[in-house]
């Protein structure tokens, strides 16, 4: 369909083309800095799944917007004509999503811009890195043309931007937005549809492996520390964002990392800091006159990003394959300051808190938010779930029961009061808690029950002061603590009502009011 010689070009050549064409500029570290205009993050209202006879009873339509085959065909015709008019001046990457050869998905990206082709080369698995023989499996093709814009009244979209998945034709089309994360997450949505049908749990989580082969998974929404905590110098990184759990172990769906880098520091995140070098794409960061990156600046967006190969992280595992997980960690940044720093979950509690997917937004991070705001995202990745959350939760429960995997809820948020009054739990304490959970040290300590959240809290943890483990101890005003805790518990209950009708037994494993 597309006639081009620019297939799987070396990153050095793509760098040259990108800078020559004015797509991006070098930073002082050698990374390529690009800007993405008004779309500096995903555009959830512009994402669609083609609704047809094969999927109309499968897709979780409460969470996914349908688009007709007729409107898809119009957009597909528009974007293919747009890319064909570019002649040979387009870029193709052919690789894989999924580090396990038995379950990998071939992917083909057709990009309007060289820098976006660098991005997909860094984020997905490259053929020459895997050394796999030819894989006899039909994959997905992703057409990406930011300059191709939809006309809502003609094309059935909500704006000029569109991200459309057609499962029947194995095609994804992305137009009107320059934000690179749409490419990454569209394939993750595809994987989340395909793998559960094979009894494989696809997961929005990071993963690492200890020296003894023990694997840990870290689930968490943006800002909870998922990428930071998985990049542990004492453990081997498998991947920072997307994985799948089979009967044999886990595998990374990607070959790279897409790290949020606002307020990045070498002291707290040395591995990510050192990864921002030649070959890395940095999105929407601010540069000074000497092209040094100002990681603290949110002038363009708070969602500044760095995309790099997992090779950039010392002692990483590539392709990312690991053993059966021994520990699962749910991360939350509770800005209300009422959840404990760590709690151990039963399999049923794991289902409840997995389906809840809680964290909180901070006052001041978005216009109009003056108090902490609860955020719930099913399975810690609701925007990328084509199927109902209970599908993924049941798979999770089955696997942790089968393999006796330990599950912990770890709060990386506030204590002693809500955001603005209390203080954030130190990263040193969080790292000590994570180390204790992964080493098994928390298996041999005593626990007490938190009456509101129905959670088992350890009374001691190596490297952490015992008095902070029960969050009520850190509040000067105990009545204010209890009132705030009950308010958050009510938010959990209200959110879970949409699942309670079909799963009433799970509600008793959530907070008690």
Domain housing 75: 11-199
Tokens 């810690």 belong to 380
Q: Which of 5-19, 251-265, 369-383, 478-492 has the lowest mean pLDDT?
A: 369-383
3-class SS of residue 143: strand
500: pLDDT strictly greater than 90 = no
Active-site amino acid positions: 42, 185, 204, 222, 226-227, 241, 305
228: pLDDT strictly greater than 50 = yes
Domain finish residue from 163, 178, 199: 199
Rounded mean pLDDT of 97-113?
96
For the chain, the helix, strand and coil percentages under 3-state DSSP, each to the nearest 5: 30, 25, 45
Is the domain of 479 the same as that of 332? yes
Q: Which of 110-114, 159-163, 421-425 has the lowest mean pLDDT?
A: 421-425
Quickly state the pLDDT bin for 268 (edges 50, 70, 90): confident
3-class SS of residue 495: helix
Q: What is the dihedral of CA 327, 388, 194, 65, to 10 degrees?
A: -130
Cβ proximity of 177 and 157 under 8 Å: no
Q: Work out the burial of residue 333: count CB atoms within 10 Å of its CB; fewer than 13 is exposed, 13-18 middle, 19 or more buried.
A: buried
DSSP letter for each residue of 277-334:
STT-EEES-EE-TT--EETT--SS-S--EEEEEGGGSTT--SS-EE--EEEEEEEE--
DSSP letter for each residue of 375-425:
EE-GGG-GGG-SS-HHHHHHHHHHHHHHHT-EEEEEE-SEESSSTTTSEEP
Write down the H helix ranges in 203-266.
Answer: 226-230
- The pLDDT value recorded for residue 365 is 43
- The pLDDT value recorded for residue 364 is 41
- The pLDDT value recorded for residue 322 is 97
Q: What is the pLDDT of residues 51-76, one digit of tens each?
A: 999 999 999 999 999 999 999 999 99
Q: How far is CA 371 from CA 331, 441, 488, 492, 495, in A?
A: 21, 36, 13, 17, 19
Residue 224 lies in a domain: no
Rounded mean pLDDT of 226-255?
92
Rounded mean pLDDT of 190-217?
96
Residue 262 lies in a domain: no
Span between the terminal Cα atoms of the chain, in Å: 60
What tokens were used for 482?
């209890």
- The pLDDT value recorded for residue 361 is 78
318: pLDDT strictly greater than 90 = no
Contacts of 414 (CB under 8 A, 6+ apart): 334, 335, 336, 337, 422, 423, 424, 425
Domain finish residue from 199, 224, 258: 199
The more confidently predicted of residues 5 and 389 is 389
Q: Which of 133-137, 166-170, 203-207, 224-228 has the lowest mean pLDDT?
A: 133-137
- The pLDDT value recorded for residue 224 is 87
Total length of the chain: 513
Rounded mean pLDDT of 474-492?
96
Please give the Cα distance from 194 to 387 (Å, whole number).
10
Write down the H helix ranges in 440-509.
Answer: 478-500
Residue 473 lies in a domain: yes
Residue 438 lies in a domain: yes
Please give the Cα distance from 377 to 440 (Å, whole number).
29
Rounded mean pLDDT of 474-500?
95
Please give the Cα distance from 494 to 65 (Å, whole number).
23
Cβ proximity of 165 and 192 under 8 Å: no
Q: Which of 164-168, 189-193, 220-224, 349-353 has the lowest mean pLDDT?
A: 220-224
Quickly state the pLDDT bin for 370 (edges 50, 70, 90): low
Rounded mean pLDDT of 337-359?
97
Rounded mean pLDDT of 172-187?
97
- The pLDDT value recorded for residue 366 is 45
Residue 66 lies in a domain: yes
Residue 179 lies in a domain: yes
CB atoms within 10 A of CB 508: 11
- The pLDDT value recorded for residue 341 is 98
Q: What is the mean pLDDT of the chain?
A: 94
319 cis-preceded (ω within 30 degrees of 0): yes
Cβ proximity of 374 and 418 under 8 Å: no
Residue 402 lies in a domain: yes
188: pLDDT strictly greater than 60 = yes
Please give the Cα distance from 275 to 31 (Å, whole number).
9
131: pLDDT strictly greater than 50 = yes
Task: Compute φ and ψ for 289, nearest 5 degrees.
Answer: -65, -20
What tokens were used for 140?
């997905």
219 cis-preceded (ω within 30 degrees of 0): no
Quickly state the pLDDT bin for 2 (edges 50, 70, 90): confident
CATH number of the domain enclosing 112: 3.40.449.10
Task: Compute φ and ψ for 175, nearest 5 degrees.
Answer: -145, 160
Q: What is the pLDDT of residues 133-159, one digit of tens each?
A: 877 789 999 999 999 999 999 999 999
Tokens 């992703």 belong to 142
What tokens were used for 287?
């540069």
Domain finish residue from 183, 199, 215: 199
Structural domains of the chain, count: 2
- The pLDDT value recorded for residue 301 is 93
Residue 249 lies in a domain: no
């Amino acid at each position: 369909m597309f006639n081009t010689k620019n297939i799987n070009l070396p990153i050095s050549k793509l760098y040259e083309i990108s800078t020559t064409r004015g797509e991006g500029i070098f930073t002082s570290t050698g990374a390529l800095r690009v800007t993405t205009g008004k779309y500096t993050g995903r555009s959830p209202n512009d994402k669609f799944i083609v609704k047809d006879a094969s999927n109309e009873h499968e897709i979780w339509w409460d969470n996914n917007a349908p688009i007709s085959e007729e409107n898809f065909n119009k957009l597909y015709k528009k974007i293919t004509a747009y890319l064909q008019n570019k002649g040979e001046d387009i870029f193709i990457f052919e690789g894989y999503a999924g580090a396990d050869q038995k379950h990998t998905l071939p992917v083909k990206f057709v990009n309007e811009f060289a820098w976006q082709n660098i991005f997909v080369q860094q984020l997905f698995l490259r053929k020459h890195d895997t050394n796999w023989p030819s894989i006899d499996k039909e994959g997905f093709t992703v057409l990406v043309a930011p300059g191709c814009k939809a006309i809502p009244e003609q094309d059935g979209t909500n704006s000029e931007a569109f991200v459309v998945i057609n499962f029947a034709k194995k095609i994804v089309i992305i137009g009107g937005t320059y934000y690179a994360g749409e490419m990454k997450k569209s394939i993750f949505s595809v994987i989340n549809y395909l793998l559960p049908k094979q009894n494989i749990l696809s997961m929005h989580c990071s993963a690492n492996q200890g020296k003894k082969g023990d694997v840990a998974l870290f689930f968490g929404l943006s800002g909870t520390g998922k990428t930071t905590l998985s990049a542990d110098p004492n453990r081997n990184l498998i991947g920072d964002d997307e994985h799948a759990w089979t009967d044999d172990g886990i595998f990374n769906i990607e070959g790279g990392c897409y790290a949020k880098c606002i307020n990045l520091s070498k002291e707290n995140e040395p591995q990510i800091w050192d990864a921002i070098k030649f070959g890395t794409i940095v999105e929407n960061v601010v540069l000074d006159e000497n092209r040094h990156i100002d990681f603290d600046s949110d002038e363009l967006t708070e969602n500044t990003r760095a995309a790099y190969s997992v090779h950039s992280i010392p002692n990483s595992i590539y392709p990312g394959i690991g053993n059966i997980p021994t520990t699962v960690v749910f991360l939350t940044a509770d800005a209300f300051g009422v959840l404990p720093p760590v709690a151990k979950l039963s399999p049923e509690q794991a289902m409840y808190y997995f389906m809840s997917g809680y964290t909180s937004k901070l006052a001041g991070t978005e216009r109009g938010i003056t108090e902490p705001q609860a955020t719930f995202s099913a399975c810690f990745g609701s925007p990328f779930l084509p199927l109902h959350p209970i599908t993924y939760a049941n798979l999770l429960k089955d696997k942790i029961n089968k393999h006796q995997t330990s599950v912990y809820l770890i709060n990386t948020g506030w204590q002693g009061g809500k955001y603005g009054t209390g203080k954030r739990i130190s990263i040193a304490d969080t790292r000590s808690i994570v180390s204790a959970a992964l080493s098994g040290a928390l298996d041999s300590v005593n626990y007490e029950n938190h009456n509101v959240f129905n959670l088992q809290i350890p009374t001691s943890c190596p490297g952490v002061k015992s008095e902070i483990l029960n969050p009520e101890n850190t509040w000067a005003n105990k009545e204010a603590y209890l009132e705030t805790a009950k308010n958050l518990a009510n938010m959990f209950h209200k959110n879970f009502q949409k699942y309670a009708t079909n799963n009433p037994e799970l509600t008793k494993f959530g907070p008690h009011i």
